[in-house]
Amino acid sequence: MTNEENDCVFCKIVRGEMPCHKIWEDENFLAFADANPVVEDHTLVIPKKHFSSLSDINEEICCGYIGAIKETGKILVKKCNADGFNVALNNGEAAGQVVNHVHFHIHPRKKGDGLKLSFK
């Protein structure tokens, strides 16, 4: 295990060293509630293996990742009685990535919820 993996908060969650509220998981991916949600039921989907960015993931893992995001989104739509969901990725520090372990954000959405995504 590298120092980066050893110190990574998401790797600690995967190893069971830190708690999380699991939404969904399989052998390769884990979805859990964001500790600092921007909307109710804001969820993160991560690969269980450490990758710093999306650029580091091979095609096979990428294909599985889309399936994990899709499955998590379906669960959240049903759980929240939502009308849809947004998927977001901050890839790299310049793009706003805070935890150096690739992760997609899923935001359940309801019509008229007032959430505005802004890119200024």
Select 3-109's CATH number: 3.40.50.1100, 3.30.930.10, 3.30.428.10, 3.40.50.450: 3.30.428.10
Q: Is it the case that residue 50 has pLDDT exceeding 70?
A: yes
- Out of 101, 103, 105, 107, the active site residue is 103
Please answer whether residues 76 and 41 qualify as being in contact, where contact means their C-beta atoms are separated by less than 8 angstroms: yes
| pLDDT score recorded for residue 118 | 72
101 in active site: no
| Digit-coded pLDDT (tens) for 17-47 | 999 999 999 999 999 999 999 899 999 999 9
Can you give the residue ranges of every domain in the chain?
3-109
pTM of the model: 0.93
- Residue 47's pLDDT is 98
Angstrom CA distances, 40 to 3, 17, 73, 103, stand at 33, 25, 13, 18
In this predicted structure, what is the pLDDT of residue 94? 95
Q: Is 55's pLDDT higher than 80?
A: yes
What are the tens digits of pLDDT across the range 65-114?
999 999 999 999 999 999 999 999 999 999 999 999 999 999 999 999 88
Collect all residues with Cβ–Cβ distance below 8 Å to 57 and sequence separation of at least 6.
Answer: 47, 51, 65, 102
* pLDDT attached to residue 120: 67
